[in-house]
Structure formats: C-alpha cells, structure tokens
Structure 1
Amino acid sequence: MRLVLASNNAKKLAELRALLAGLPLEIVTQGELGIAEAEEPHGTFVENALVKARHAAAACHGAAIADDSGLCVSALGGAPGVISAHYAGEVEAVAGEAREERRRRQDAVNNALLLQRLHGAADRRAHFISTLVALRHADDPEPLIAVGRWPGEILHAPRGTQGFGYDPLMFIAALGATVAELDAERKNRFSHRARSAAALRVQLHEAWHLGS
C-alpha cells in the first residue's frame, strides 16, 4: 500500500519509514509526486495534521499520512505550540544561504525567545508532541489519529550539539540528558514521534488490517 507523507522533509520520511518498518507500506513524500504543501491555518496540532493529510490524499487520490509536531511549555499556556518552528517570527532568507543554515538561524532566535519568556519562571515543565493522522482517502470518515508526548523541562542554557530546534534546551530527566545530547538511535527510540508511531501501528493493524 502506498502512503503519501504530507511533507517534503527527508529526515521525517526516513524516521517514519523506520518507525513503521515491517508494515506493508511504501511511504513517499508528496514532493516526489509534485504535490504542493498545504496551508496550516489552525491553532491545534490535530486540525493542522488533518488538513495536511486531506490535502495530500486528495492530490494523490489515495492514502496519506501527516505529522504535526512541536513544543508545549506549561508556564506559557502551551506555547509555542503549533508555531514552534517560527516562534520568533520567520527569519529572512539570505542570498546564497543553504536551507540548513537558515534553519539553524531560525532555531537560534526561537530558543532565545523561549528563554526570554521563561526568565524567572520556576515551572519549566514542557513536552514535545507529535500528532500523526492517516487517511485511506481524502473523504475518509474515520481518520486514524495518534498522539505521542515526550515530557521534560526547559534548561536555562542550551546543552548538546545533536538534533535541531529546541533539542538543546529540552532536558529529559529519565535519560539524564538533553535531547541534543542523545544520538539518533536513542532519540528515535524514546521520542514523541516514536510514541505516536507506536500508537498508529496498532490502529493500522486493527482498522486497516495491515500486518502486525
């Protein structure tokens, strides 16, 4: 069964392929099929994931999967939430700049704003969240929805060089490290997306009758 990922993120594709390995699925990105990215106008992860999955499913006339993820901080009422990727506003492009370099600049200003808004806060609890939505077709009345949360706390200064986004600030007490101090294998074993994918596997087996 072909499942179109409503994203052009190669790392997310590789991660989902690994997390859903063993199921009779061929996962491809929407970009490979010439499908443009959908707008994400909503204030919740599940609504945005549904929009992206429906858009991809309609364009490919088949099954699709979407992930909407981010960071939610207790003391900030759940912010940055769905705007996690551009919490400090989208940085301007620089001529000749590689995509990864722009992302690093974006991460830096996002992290700086987060620390600024948490200055003096005693409650630094937070969690990463991943919401996965899978549809058999664009009009599927029974979307599969799986949510994974990875709790931790926000440090006062970044630690570690792995990962991206808020990983250097997110300390996981159970692992004694920030997410940016974990190698890819450990991160993918415990992450929010690993948790949502595990929950989705169960639904794919029970509702779509795919392999165990």
Structure 2
Amino acid sequence: MELVFATNNKNKLKEVQALLPKEIKLLSLKEIGCTEDIPETAPTIEGNAIQKADYVKDKYGYDCFADDTGLEVEALNGAPGVYSARYAGEAKSSEANIDKLLVELESKENRSARFKTVIALHLDGKLHTFTGICSGNIIFERKGLQGFGYDPVFQPEGKSVTFAEMSLEEKSTISHRARATRQLIDFLTKISR
C-alpha cells in the first residue's frame, strides 16, 4: 500500500515512518511533485489536518493522510493551539515560539499543557480522523537537544525529562503523534487483512 504523508517536515516524516509497518510505503510531498505550500487556514487542529488531506487528494489524486499538531496550554486558554507553529510570527521560529511561551507563563502557577495531534486519512473515497494527546507541563527553561518545536520545554506526565531529552525511540512510545499514528496503523492493519 502506498500512502502520501502530506508534510514537508522531515522530522515528522522520520518519526511516522519509524512507526509504520513495512508493507505501507510512505511517499513524501516532494515525491509526488507537490512543492507548493498547502493551506492551513482552518480554525482548529482537526480542520487543518482535514484541509491538508483534502488538498492532496483533490489536486494530486493520491490516498493520503495529513496531520496537524498543537500545544494547548491550560493557563493560556488553550493557546497557542492551532497557531503553535507561528505563535511568535509567520517565520515559524521554534526558538521565538518557546521564548514567547516562557514569557507568557512567567507569572502563571499552572503550567499544565498537552500536545494534540489529529491525523486525517483519505482512503478509498472516505475520510477518517485519529486523535492523539500527551499531557504534561511546561518547564521553566529549555532542556535537551533532541526533537523539534516545543520539545525542549515540554515534560510529559510521569517523566522527569523533556521530549528533547528523550531518544526518538523513547518519545515514540508516548508522544501525541505516536498515539494518533498507532490508531492510524491499527485501522490500516485491520482493513488490509
């Protein structure tokens, strides 16, 4: 089975490919000739995932899946949420996003947060969605060099280290993306029998 993963993020591609069974071949946007920016203008994380999957299916005709992820911080009423990648501006700088987040949380006692990933799958003319959540806290300063995005300041529940201090293998057992991807894999495994 060939599926397009509608992302240009090499880290995401690597994370998801590591979780997929070998009989599912993942194609990148580059491999199908999609070089344009795919719109992400929906007001929700789920809406953005669906919008990206719709775009690839409609314009290129491939069965595909797309994901969108957001960091939802309780004390900030769920922000940055759907705006996580461009929280500090359109440059999509992880460093600037983390700086802004830490400044906004300076006076807050509640540092509870969760990562939420929604995967939208277009397969055989039907749309399916899968949601993964990983709860935790935002720590006070960056720790670790692994991962990407907000990983250096996000400490998952029950762990004493941040995502950025974990190996890819360790992160892949508990992350929001891994949880949503496992649901996707379970679904694909069931229908391919």
- Specify if TM > 0.5: yes
CA distance in 1, matches of 2:52, 2:138: 29
Q: Report the residue type matching 1:175 in the other structure.
A: K
Please state how far the C-alpha of 1:155 moved relative to its aligned partner.
Answer: 1.0
Please state how far the C-alpha of 1:62 moved relative to its aligned partner.
Answer: 2.5
Is 1:39–1:52's contact at 8 Å kept on the other side of the alignment? yes
Alignment size in residue pairs: 192
After TM superposition, the structure 1 = structure 2 runs for residues 1-212 of structure 1, keeping only pairs within 5 Å, are 1-22=1-22, 24-35=23-34, 36-91=36-91, 106-136=93-123, 140=125, 142-206=126-190, 209-211=191-193
TM-score (norm 1): 0.85
Pairwise CA RMSD: 1.6
Is 1:6–1:37's contact at 8 Å kept on the other side of the alignment? no
Aligned identity (percent) is: 36
Please state how far the C-alpha of 1:175 moved relative to its aligned partner.
Answer: 2.1
Is 1:146–1:200's contact at 8 Å kept on the other side of the alignment? yes
Please state how far the C-alpha of 1:10 moved relative to its aligned partner.
Answer: 2.2
CA distance in 2, matches of 1:124, 1:57: 39
- 1:95 matched residue in structure 2: none
- 1:99 matched residue in structure 2: none
Is 1:124–1:153's contact at 8 Å kept on the other side of the alignment? yes
Please state how far the C-alpha of 1:204 moved relative to its aligned partner.
Answer: 2.2
TM-score (norm 2): 0.92
Whose radius of gyration is greater, 1 or 2?
Answer: 1
Q: Which sections of structure 2, spanning at least 5 residues, go unmatched?
A: none
> Comparing 143-152 with 36-45, which one deviates more in the overlay?
36-45
Please state how far the C-alpha of 1:188 moved relative to its aligned partner.
Answer: 1.4
Q: Report the residue type matching 1:40 in the other structure.
A: E
Q: Which sections of structure 1, spanning at least 5 residues, go unmatched?
A: 92-102
Is 1:72–1:127's contact at 8 Å kept on the other side of the alignment? yes
